[in-house]
Amino acid sequence: MKRDSLAVSAYDGTTSRSRPQLIAFLLSALDSARSGIKCLDTHNAIWQEEIDPVATLADKIVVETLLFVMLARRIRELPDAVHASLDGICSACNAWVRNPKNTLLLTRHPHTAVTLGIGHVALSQSGCIDDSFDRLVRKAFSSGRIHAIERLPYRAMEVLWLKSQVFQQPVAGFPELLPASLLVAPAHPVYMTEADCYALTHALMYLTDFGRVGLPPSVSPLRLKRLLDSALAWNILGENLDLLGELLMAHVFIGEPSSPYARFAWHMLAATWTQFGFLPCPSLDPKQYQALRGDEALAYAFKHTYHTTYVGGILCALLLDPPRAVTVADDSPANLRDFQPLADKLDEAIAGAQRFIETRDTPWSAGAEPVEEASGDALARVILRMTECQTLNNAQSRQWAKVLSDAPVSHDELALILSDGLLIHAAKEYELGVLSRVLTDRTRGDLPISTTFLEAAEFLADQQLPNGAIGAHVMADEHDAALLPVELTKTTALALASVCNFLRRQAA
């Protein structure tokens, strides 16, 4: 399959629109980078913000800008005008990286070679050579002192990746880091934080050299794809465009960009970028911005748009020239997991719930409750449940109405994406009533079983207390009336019964 058609079929069925759109976005992001770097002195004086003891926000922006340049240069057959733009950015960044302050840092604290090294390598790969600085970076590796501090697994992978770039050869050591990494952990967004999502995307960046190297055998591409899709569903509902962009990059790294979750996430990103002319960072606060004037407002605008705009730009660069061929994994529900153990677990939870209820109320059975008929189609039901969620208000958003109305996915695919997102959101916000209702809706409709559906059901069962009540938060108030835990336990147990019966029907 030709590379052009890869980008087209993954994100847009219309040949004439996809590639020009990607190029336009990429150039817009590069323009933002170029102008931001030129004004960095002025803005830095306003921010006066340290990221860590050795780096300011401006230093961080320079490193990220140069990483963007490095990855943009990987696009084959890049027009000369774009190369010239990249050269201009490198020239403007050079003094921010190679200067007496950073030379002192590298000498005193060799571990800083990671942060400073990324910028240095990007400059070197662009033809901007500095042998003296290069010797210092290489020395940090050869002395071993670059490892002289404690690092998270994905940061340790970053060190290995940088080493491969500095010394221009493959580097050993990645397999030893995997056991501690989220890449092989039983992770799911129900249990993850935003920081964990970033750990996931960054681990994949360094492990695969931004898609150029395949996954090691111990990392399952299918399992990763499902995890990434779940994380996309979560962040689609959460409107975190920064993470959506990084998760989409991760899909490209593993050669799997074509899921409905990815297609909708791209649509959301592209629609927002087209409408706004930039991509907002999650940190952008409209009220804060409106209180600022002059240079302070300009500095704020750049600070709270640059990262997500860069992420968008890098994503476009990857889509324009995907580093690896797209593979279509067999993602049928039958391959998800054996449903029997989960159904047995749910049965036990239901039995425990029944015992608890009967100690507080009249005899009760999940099977004795009348079954409410599902009304409306799957998408309508999901949107109704979104309005029931007290910590989520997308259903009332005009922006959402616009994004949903011309989504490039089918009706059922959209229902699946939003339903998965809502299951994750309800579990994380502990809205067990909404969680129960969405799970029940899924058992009465035709949406496919997803990893998120199974994880959400297991999460709900795991909220059972030793006395059989379901809902750990009821322990917070010992003086609460018995009614609260009884009613909630009935609601959740009914949902678990629906799921249990549904799973047994699938397994049969």
Partner 1 sequence: MSQLKHHEIQKIIQGLHESKVVNLDASIRQMIDPIAAGLRDPGAEVSLHVLCCNEYALVTGLQSGQIDEISSVASSIKTALNQIAATSKS
Kindly list the residues in this chain that would bind partner 1 in the complex (CB under 8 A): 31-32, 34-39, 239, 241, 272, 275-278, 280, 282, 284, 286, 289-290, 297-298, 301-302, 305, 384, 387-390, 393-394, 396-400, 431-434, 480, 483-484, 487-488, 491
Q: Which is nearer to partner 1, 338 or 406 (CB)?
A: 406
Q: Which is nearer to partner 1, 167 or 289 (CB)?
A: 289
Q: Which is nearer to partner 1, 27 or 54 (CB)?
A: 27
Q: Which is nearer to partner 1, 212 or 473 (CB)?
A: 473
Output the 3-class SS for 471-501.
Answer: CHHHHHCCCCCCHHHHHHHHHHHHHHHHHHH
Give the nearest distance from C-beta 239 to partner 1 in angstroms. 5
The per-residue b/e assignment along 437-455, b for 16 or more CB within 10 angstroms, e otherwise, is bbbbbbbbbebebbbbbbb
Give the nearest distance from C-beta 124 to partner 1 in angstroms. 25
Give the nearest distance from C-beta 358 to partner 1 in angstroms. 18
Determine the Cα–Cα distance for residues 173 and 185; give it in Å rounded to an integer: 19
Give the nearest distance from C-beta 485 to partner 1 in angstroms. 9
Give the nearest distance from C-beta 298 to partner 1 in angstroms. 5
Tokens of 447: 């949406």
Counting other chains too, the contacts that 466-469 makes at CB distance below 8 Å and 24 or more residues apart are 467/356, 468/352, 468/353, 468/354, 468/355, 468/356, 468/357, 469/353, 469/356
Give the nearest distance from C-beta 78 to partner 1 in angstroms. 21
Total Cβ atoms within 10 A of residue 181: 21
DSSP 183: G
Token pair 């990103």 is found at 269
Q: Which is nearer to partner 1, 193 or 390 (CB)?
A: 390
Give the nearest distance from C-beta 391 to partner 1 in angstroms. 8
Q: Phi and psi for 398 in degrees, rounded to 5?
A: -65, -35
Return the percent helix, strand and coil in the chain, to nearest 5.
70, 0, 30
Q: Which is nearer to partner 1, 263 or 381 (CB)?
A: 381
Helices (H), 283-410: 286-290, 294-303, 306-320, 339-360, 378-388, 398-405
Q: HSE of 497 in the Cβ direction (CA atoms, 13 Å)?
A: 18
Q: Which is nearer to partner 1, 32 or 450 (CB)?
A: 32
Give the nearest distance from C-beta 38 to partner 1 in angstroms. 3
Q: Which is nearer to partner 1, 194 or 347 (CB)?
A: 194
Determine the Cα–Cα distance for residues 69 and 90; give it in Å rounded to an integer: 8
Tokens of 113: 């070679």
